[in-house]
């Protein structure tokens, strides 16, 4: 079988006033296309993983307000886009590619959006592998975890991107149940994470300003996901046990009546140098291929 494919070929579409930019690497048609989705991570984060699937058409995209994709209100005065709006954007991308139901690998906030995609457009997705969705309300310690998320947002609005990201990193790297102490703790020094301490006055960060609350606060319609024809697999990293997104993935898998599938690496296990981070992309892609094969 030939594994020659084109791309990436960029394209755009209008979705509810936003311009969504996506890339298509067209390959053999023997298998469904594979959509790789993140949020707020854009298509640039999936270059390595896409390269492991030369035998398939691979689609990547920039979520609205991130990378090359725009929002109707660049000034940020409109409400942040909820996962169901991101899901509708993904649905339009799948329909534009025009080759029938797709398989989806989605990570972090992208996994939240992809779960909303299954709830709203299940007929477009054959298999979803949802990797570590940071669904705070799935956790038994949801109240404390949500307070910690709100503390991240408050630090960002008060002191800027460096402070917000320092607090965010402390939260996502925390292992074990979240206690009230985490939200009450002082904001870590941004310099300890290589972040700027000064406030540049901007509040348009795609993670902290646009997606944090709507993503982490999303409540999955478990009945809709369970009744969908889509095969849904919850995936968690072998190296991220105890972290919030890992724990949320395990909890949601339990509510769906399944066991989570362990993948090599941690929350960034599929990265191959993108954003200066390298996980275990070869082993990760091999595991993803096994899972998609059923």
pLDDT in tens, 234-257: 999 999 999 999 999 999 999 999
For residue 36, is pLDDT > 60?
yes
For residue 77, is pLDDT > 90?
no
- Determine the pLDDT at residue 170: 97
Give the C-alpha separation, 21 to 29, whole Å.
23
Quick one: how far is CA 31 from the chain centroid? 24
Is residue 144 a contact partner of residue 239, using CB atoms and an 8 Å limit? no
Quick one: how far is CA 278 from the chain centroid? 17
How would residue 71 be classed by pLDDT, with cut points 50, 70 and 90?
Answer: confident
Strand partners, 130: 106, 234
Give the C-alpha separation, 137 to 262, whole Å.
22
- Determine the pLDDT at residue 99: 81
- Determine the pLDDT at residue 96: 96
Quote the crossing angle between the two packed helices 244-255 and 161-173, to the nearest 10°: 60
Is residue 102 a contact partner of residue 92, using CB atoms and an 8 Å limit? no
How would residue 81 be classed by pLDDT, with cut points 50, 70 and 90?
Answer: confident
CATH class of segment(s) 9-135+219-292:
alpha beta
Q: What are phi and psi of 82, to 5 degrees?
A: -75, 165
For residue 2, is pLDDT > 50?
no
Is residue 132 a contact partner of residue 267, using CB atoms and an 8 Å limit? yes
The 8-class DSSP code of residue 193 comes to G
% residues pLDDT > 70 (the chain): 97
Q: Domain boundaries in the chain?
A: 9-135+219-292, 142-211
pLDDT in tens, 166-208: 999 999 999 999 999 999 999 999 999 999 999 999 999 999 9
- Determine the pLDDT at residue 154: 97
For residue 74, is pLDDT > 80?
no
pTM: 0.96
- Determine the pLDDT at residue 76: 54
Find the mean pLDDT for residues 89-93.
98
Is residue 183 a contact partner of residue 150, using CB atoms and an 8 Å limit? yes
- Determine the pLDDT at residue 78: 57
Find the mean pLDDT for residues 224-232.
97
Cα–Cα nearest to 246, from 177, 152, 188: 177
How would residue 1 be classed by pLDDT, with cut points 50, 70 and 90?
Answer: very low
- Tokens encoding 92: 């339009």
DSSP string computed for 26-87: ---SSS--EEEE-SS--GGGGHHHHHT-TTS-EEEEPPTTSTT---S-TTS-SPPPPHHHHH
- Determine the pLDDT at residue 80: 78
For residue 75, is pLDDT > 60?
no
């Amino acid at each position: 079988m030939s594994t020659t494919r084109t791309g990436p070929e960029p394209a755009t579409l209008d979705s509810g006033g936003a311009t969504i930019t996506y890339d298509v690497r067209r390959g053999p048609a023997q298998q469904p296309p594979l959509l790789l989705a993140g949020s707020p991570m854009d298509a640039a984060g999936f270059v390595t993983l896409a390269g492991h699937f030369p035998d398939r058409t691979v689609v990547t995209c920039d979520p609205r307000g991130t990378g090359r994709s725009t929002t109707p209100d660049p000034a940020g005065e409109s409400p942040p886009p909820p996962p169901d709006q991101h899901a509708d954007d993904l649905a339009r991308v799948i329909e534009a590619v025009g080759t029938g139901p797709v398989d989806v690998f989605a990570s972090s906030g992208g996994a939240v959006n992809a779960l909303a995609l299954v709830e709203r457009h299940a007929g477009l997705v054959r298999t979803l592998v949802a990797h570590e969705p940071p669904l705070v309300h799935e956790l038994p310690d949801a109240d404390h975890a949500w307070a910690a998320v709100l503390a991240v947002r408050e630090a960002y609005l008060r002191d800027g991107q460096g402070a917000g990201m320092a607090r965010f990193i402390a939260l996502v790297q925390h292992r074990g149940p979240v206690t009230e102490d985490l939200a009450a703790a002082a904001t870590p020094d941004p310099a300890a994470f290589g972040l700027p301490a000064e406030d540049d006055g901007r509040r348009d960060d795609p993670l902290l300003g646009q997606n944090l609350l709507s993503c982490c606060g999303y409540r999955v319609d478990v009945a809709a996901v369970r009744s969908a024809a889509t095969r849904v697999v919850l995936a968690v990293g072998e190296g991220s046990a105890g972290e919030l997104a890992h724990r949320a993935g395990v909890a949601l898998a339990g509510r769906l009546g399944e066991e989570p599938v362990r993948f090599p690496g941690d929350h960034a296990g599929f990265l191959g140098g993108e954003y200066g981070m390298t996980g275990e992309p070869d082993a990760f892609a091999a595991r993803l291929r096994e899972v998609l094969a059923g």
